[in-house]
Amino acid sequence: MKYIEEFNDPGLARRLLEDIRATVTRPWALMEVCGGQTHSIIRHGIDQLLPEDVELIHGPGCPVCVTPLEAIDRALAIAARPEVTFCSFGDMLRVPGTDRDLYRVKGAGGDVRVVYSPLDALRIAQENPQREVVFFGIGFETTAPANAMAVHQARRLGVRNFSLLVSHVRVPPAIEAIMSSADCRVQGFLAAGHVCSVMGTTEYPELAERHRVPIVVTGFEPLDLLEGIRRAVRQLERGEHRVENAYPRAVQDTGNPAALRMLQEVFTVTDRAWRGIGTIPGSGWRLSDAYRDFDAEHRFDVTGVTTRESARCRSGEVLQGLIKPHECEAFGTACTPRTPLGATMVSSEGACAAYYLYRRLDPAVRRAEEAEPVG
Ligand code: SF4
């Protein structure tokens, strides 16, 4: 398959690895800020193939994982209302809120539906004018344009029973927050290729310069990731800190002008809480005042929601790259994909789920599993 198989070539992967090994002279820590990249790295064992001196830290790049508990609890409160049809992508349904998840709301009679596009939710609203149809709009710059388009279409078509519960987040302020943390060990970033295909690269040079970190726009296949790592390591060894585009087949510096126009029309930048991390200034989008009537938070009163995080879950530390998933005491024991305590174990892009799925287990957990295999 074009653009997939040719980026899985084992011979080329070996050559890139040899180049990285020949380049590295001391320890470096790189962070990927994309759950898709995290899964690809773990699935292909790229972190294990790299020289010991190159560490990959898995950052807050999974959209489901970083959605704050307050947003989940608001979604649960809205979804439980009898007049509401609540639409979401499937991976949000098992994300634990304070005391339940969307599956439980659905099991209790709530009209909760899985859709594959926000435009599906808009169609449901058109077909069911007696219902209030709400779409849960979460994620990074990648999903935001389609959600913006759905709201734009709703207003254009006069579909007044459609609204968006928005919890969008933006990558550059997260990089800023990570680099400003006293505990930060990150020396270079692999920027998410799909985010940059929408937004371009213009937000990154200032960050790279101020924090003196290389930022390499990187794709998702094994060769993409190895090339991104190779370029980041080469810059670090040379004492450079530039933005490089290692994913030119999808990313242009100026991004996607049509998507950017849509984002600018429908959304406005706001402070946003990140699950396990806290509020990061300017790190999110909300609906602009012109689209306020389509804001589910404005349409439904969800001000009384109180939240309570699991005391055992250390996903905040996982999301900041401070610990690896199997360093959490609950990993693989109290917390598994069947019994998740935190969003990083629920989402298909979560680091905890990736470590569990691809058997990156702490040796003690592995021994326990071998004694009593998971069904
Ligand atoms: S393993 Fe489970 S409890 Fe531990 S940090 Fe990950 S999601 Fe939270």
**How far is C-alpha 228 from the chain's CA centre?**
19
Strand partners, 54: 28
Q: Whose CA is nearest to atom 8 of ligand 1?
A: 313
Share of the chain above pLDDT 70, in %: 95
Tell whether pTM > 0.85: yes
d(CA 158, CA 299): 16
CB distance 314 to ligand 1 below 6 Å: yes
Mean of all residue pLDDT scores within the chain: 92
Average pLDDT over residues 252-271: 97
Average pLDDT over residues 105-118: 97
Contact 178, 59 (CB under 8 A): yes
Q: Whose CA is nearest to atom 7 of ligand 1?
A: 342
pLDDT in tens, 8-44: 888 999 999 999 999 999 999 999 999 999 999 999 9
d(CA 28, CA 237): 9
Strand partners, 85: 111, 133
CB distance 274 to ligand 1 below 6 Å: no
CB distance 351 to ligand 1 below 6 Å: no
Contacts of 34 (CB under 8 A, 6+ apart): 61, 190, 192, 193, 194, 195, 220
Contacts of 320 (CB under 8 A, 6+ apart): 59, 60, 178, 181, 183, 276, 277
Amino acid 282: pLDDT: 97
**How far is C-alpha 29 from the chain's CA centre?**
20
CB distance 62 to ligand 1 below 6 Å: no
- pLDDT at 369 > cutoff 80: no
- pLDDT at 209 > cutoff 70: yes
Task: For a ligand 1 pocket test, name from 312, 333, 344 the mutation site with the most ligand atoms within 8 angstroms of its C-beta.
Answer: 344
> What atom of ligand 1 comes closest to residue 344's alpha carbon?
7
CATH of 5-63+180-245, one of 3.90.1150.10, 3.40.50.720, 3.40.190.10, 3.40.50.11750: 3.40.50.11750
Average pLDDT over residues 131-138: 97
Share of the chain above pLDDT 90, in %: 75
Q: Whose CA is nearest to atom 3 of ligand 1?
A: 313
Residue 362 DSSP code? -
Instruction: Tell me, in angstroms, the distance from the centre of ligand 1 to residue 282's CA.
Output: 27
Q: Which residue has the tokens 């929601």?
A: 305
Average pLDDT over residues 162-172: 97
Instruction: Tell me, in angstroms, the distance from the centre of ligand 1 to residue 341's CA.
Output: 6
Average pLDDT over residues 291-303: 92
d(CA 332, CA 355): 9
d(CA 123, CA 267): 21
Amino acid 310: pLDDT: 82
> What atom of ligand 1 comes closest to residue 352's alpha carbon?
6
Amino acid 374: pLDDT: 45
Helices 222-238 and 10-23, interaxial angle, to 10°? 10
Architecture of domain 64-170+255-299: 3-Layer(aba) Sandwich (3.40)
What does the domain layout of the chain look like in residue ranges? 5-63+180-245, 64-170+255-299, 315-358
Residue 181 backbone zone (phi > 0: left; psi -120 to 50: alpha; other: beta): beta
CB distance 96 to ligand 1 below 6 Å: no
> What atom of ligand 1 comes closest to residue 331's alpha carbon?
1
366 — pLDDT class (breaks 50, 70, 90)? low
CB distance 65 to ligand 1 below 6 Å: no
CB distance 344 to ligand 1 below 6 Å: yes
Q: Is beta strand 162-169 parallel, antiparallel or unpaired with respect to 278-287?
A: antiparallel
Instruction: Tell me, in angstroms, the distance from the centre of ligand 1 to residue 253's CA.
Output: 36
Q: Whose CA is nearest to atom 1 of ligand 1?
A: 331
Instruction: Tell me, in angstroms, the distance from the centre of ligand 1 to residue 325's CA.
Output: 7
Classify burial at 3, counting beta carbons within 10 Å of its beta carbon; exposed 0-12, middle 13-18, buried 19 or more: exposed
Contacts of 214 (CB under 8 A, 6+ apart): 188, 189, 208, 231, 232, 235, 236, 240, 241, 242, 243, 244
The answer to whether the 5-63+180-245 and 64-170+255-299 domains have the same CATH topology is yes
Task: For a ligand 1 pocket test, name from 326, 331, 333 the mutation site with the most ligand atoms within 8 angstroms of its C-beta.
Answer: 331
- 3 state DSSP class of 270: strand
Task: For a ligand 1 pocket test, name from 310, 319, 333, 345 the mutation site with the most ligand atoms within 8 angstroms of its C-beta.
Answer: 345
53 — pLDDT class (breaks 50, 70, 90)? very high
Six token digits for residue 166: 């928005």
pLDDT in tens, 300-358: 988 777 788 788 999 888 888 889 999 999 999 999 998 888 889 988 789 999 999 98
Instruction: Tell me, in angstroms, the distance from the centre of ligand 1 to residue 6's CA.
Output: 35
User: Which of 252, 231, 220 lies closest to 4 in space, CA to CA?
Assistant: 220
- pLDDT at 375 > cutoff 50: no
d(CA 60, CA 181): 14
